[in-house]
Structure 1
Amino acid sequence: MSFDGEEKTEYDPLRDGPLRYLGYANELGEAFAAWLFPGGVPLSYAVAISYVLFDTYDKWQKTEADARLKLTTRALPDAVDRGLDTLVWQLIASVAAPGYTIHTVVAAANWLLQLVEDPDIFLSTFNKSVPTALGLLAIPFIVHPIDGAVHAVLNATLRPAMRRYICREAGGAQAGLAICERCQD
């Protein structure tokens, strides 16, 4: 979406391509926690957060360029970008919620295995493999529900507040921004 609320249709390699999966590195780290070296899980979070920060910077740059093009006669308000929205959305949808979910699935599988564990029956490798497999299997099922939930939460909280600021305090209504024409509050 552009800074003024117009839909964008061009391909975004950070959102529409395989680079999007870098945001899920922490889920792989959580799933493989039993197999990784001690810093492996934090490293997976570093990869995911790096992706989030890069995507945020990319959206901020594109939004600022779009705003400068459309607001050539008016000073550019500081908050007329999607950077904050992207940062909050990505941190929740790509890092916090999925990481917590996969961590919980793996922990629950470990807990269940400890309840039924008999040293003669279950091997150490099996005890590591089952939680890892369950964590990996959960990833495809959590992506869309988490993304949708984060969109809904931001649509009810951060995005209306940003629109109000852009349209009222930052002069977006006077600049004729499309987002302000549709804004009812």
Structure 2
Amino acid sequence: MTMKLQTIICSTRPGRIGPPIGQWFNDYANQQGQFESTLVDLADYNLPVFDEPNHPAMQKYEHEHTLKWSETISKADAYVFVIPEYNFFPPPSFVNAIDYLYKEWNYKPCGFVSYGGAGAGLKSAQTAKQQVTTVRMMPMVEAVMVQMAWNLLDDNKHFQAQDVHTGSASAMLEELEKWAIALKPMRQ
């Protein structure tokens, strides 16, 4: 049985460049064959700042947006977060989306495709790794880092991956698969 991966675009701001990078990674993951990958865009969920009255571990959700988010996230065995860097930190949309749920994230591996300027969003991804461990996810050491991401978009705004990106993506997907398989008994 093929494991299920979700490639999650984490920026929700107008003018963002996460969607073409996310689309590239999602397509690449599906071509590699370890996972059946689905593209998820946080912007489609329109999550307000966390507004559930009960702790997420209780899973007593009262709002339709939370129920929809929970249903989506529950379907995956692993995640890849396509994440920019805002002031050396992940975007608030990422932090908020993680905080909405708890058990849905538990015992699943995750990876990061970070992007930005010269630092390639690395500080954002490092901080995000700390947060995901608090909801019992296992972040991968392997990652894809995209420097000066806007320079890698063609005239049609498609991301033009370089060898360093595809090589890093392959290494991360191999590790994600190992961890997704190893953690599966803990998810059942």
Rg larger in 1 or in 2? Answer: 1
**Structure 1 and Structure 2 fold alike (TM over 0.5):** no
**TM-score of the aligned structures, taking structure 2 as reference length:** 0.30
Q: TM-score, normalised by structure 1?
A: 0.31
Q: Which has the higher contact order (CA 8 A, sep 6+)?
A: 1
Higher helix share: 1
